[in-house]
Amino acid sequence: MVTINDYEGGETAWCPGCGNFQILEALKRGLVNLKLEPHQVLFVSGIGQAGKLPHYLKSNLFNGLHGRSLPVATGAKIANHELTVIAIDGDGGGYGEGCNHLIHAIRRNINLTYLVHNNQVYGLTKGQTSPTSEKGFITKTTPEGNFLQPLNPIALAISLGATFVARGYSARISHLTKLIEEGIKHEGFALIDVLQPCVSFNRLKTYKWYNKRVYDLNEDKEYDTSDKTVAFSKAQEWGEKIPIGIIYTSEKSSYEKQISALKTAPLIKQKYSMAKMKQIIDGFVQ
Ligand SMILES: Cc1ncc(C[n+]2csc(CCOP(=O)(O)OP(=O)(O)O)c2C)c(N)n1
Ligand code: SF4
Ligand SMILES: [Mg+2]
């Protein structure tokens, strides 16, 4: 039987108190609850504090370029769609440098879980503004305060037709664990945006700030995740009250399900002919 210990990885290099520790814990708990063994899971990440997360787990890992986790995760899922593939980025990687990939992963509805550690700052490079930074946020590169409108990843994903859009808060570990489980079980692309306090470089978005505002969508009564209009209005809620939970879901066939070549077995288990491969490659050579 799989246990948390099976996922124990190397020593961490995050700052004490960082929300990333809570995300790591929620992720391990979710995988164990789903009875997934480390060899059944692949983590793909980019560069950043968030991108280090798979280093602290014992499982399959591909750590590539900043903002480029989704193309690698997509390729891996197509090569072996029996793998549970989890892509991980920060808000800079996911919503800035890699935002183009996010748009097309949503459009394809590839069966991946995408965890974005949203600390609203570039943590690894020591505190510049990110696409989700609030207006007025003062950093070394914005000494007069950030004057750009923050990107709203939840509204963006819903508008693009994403089939699973959720927001978690790192300090609510049990709640986040459940979101991760649901995201993994979802047959299609699952975006989980996680509010993650960066205790070193974001002195605006502290635990205290979030604790006062964050509420569970299912707090009073069961929230209907299929109503797009309500989901859109929830996506706009930010300030005094911030909803967490599964904000929107819909059904659409996943990318892999529509590829006829994958119907019999994962690509890696299919036979191939070297002679035929050579013939194809030779076709490109004079
Ligand atoms: C292609 C490329 N562009 C830029 C960088 C520099 N860089 C590394 S991490 C980073 C920002 C990290 O912020 P985020 O993605 O939000 O992750 P965090 O560290 O906050 O978790 C940047 C700009 C890089 N390593 N590679
Ligand atoms: S700089 Fe921020 S995001 Fe990075 S480890 Fe420290 S607290 Fe966490
Ligand atoms: Mg960040």
Contact between 28 and 4 under an 8 Å Cβ cutoff? The reply is yes
- 278 is a domain residue: no
Check residue 285 and give its pLDDT.
87
pLDDT, averaged across the chain: 97
- 214 is a domain residue: yes
Please identify every residue whose CB atom is under 5 Å from ligand 3, which is an ion: 90-92, 119, 123
Find all residues with CB under 8 Å of 165, minimum gap 6, and list them.
154, 157, 158, 191, 193, 231, 235, 246, 247, 248, 249
272: pLDDT strictly greater than 90: no
Distance CA 285, CA 69 (A): 32
* Pick from 56, 66, 49, 51: nearest CA to 12: 56
- Answer positive or negative: Cα dihedral of 50, 77, 85, 13: negative
Distance CA 113, CA 180 (A): 8
Structural domain including 53 reads 4-260
Check residue 202 and give its pLDDT.
97
34: pLDDT strictly greater than 90: yes
Helix (H) or strand (E) holding 248: strand 242-249
Q: Ligand 2 centre from 124 Cα, in Å? A: 7
Write the DSSP symbol of residue 34: T
Q: Ligand 3 centre from 98 Cα, in Å? A: 13
- 265 is a domain residue: no
DSSP characters over 179-240: HHHHHHHSSS-EEEEEE---TTT-SSS-HHHHHHHEEETTSSS---TT-HHHHHHHHH--SS
What's the pLDDT tens digit per position in 86-108?
999 999 999 999 999 999 999 99
What is the domain-level CATH number for residue 10?
3.40.50.970
Contact between 207 and 175 under an 8 Å Cβ cutoff? The reply is no
Rg for the chain, CA atoms, rounded: 19
Mean pLDDT over 161-175 rounds to 98
270: pLDDT strictly greater than 80: yes
Q: Ligand 1 centre from 242 Cα, in Å? A: 26
- 275 is a domain residue: no
- 177 is a domain residue: yes
Check residue 112 and give its pLDDT.
98
* Pick from 150, 165, 145: nearest CA to 243: 165
What's the pLDDT tens digit per position in 188-247?
999 999 999 999 999 999 999 999 999 999 998 999 999 999 999 999 999 999 999 999
Domain count, the chain: 1
- 268 is a domain residue: no
Looking at ligand 2, which residue's alpha carbon is closest to its atom 8?
Answer: 18
133: pLDDT strictly greater than 80: yes
Looking at ligand 2, which residue's alpha carbon is closest to its atom 4?
Answer: 123
Q: Ligand 3 centre from 121 Cα, in Å? A: 4
- 96 is a domain residue: yes
14 in contact with ligand 2, CB cutoff 6 A: yes
Ligand nearest to the CA of 126: 2
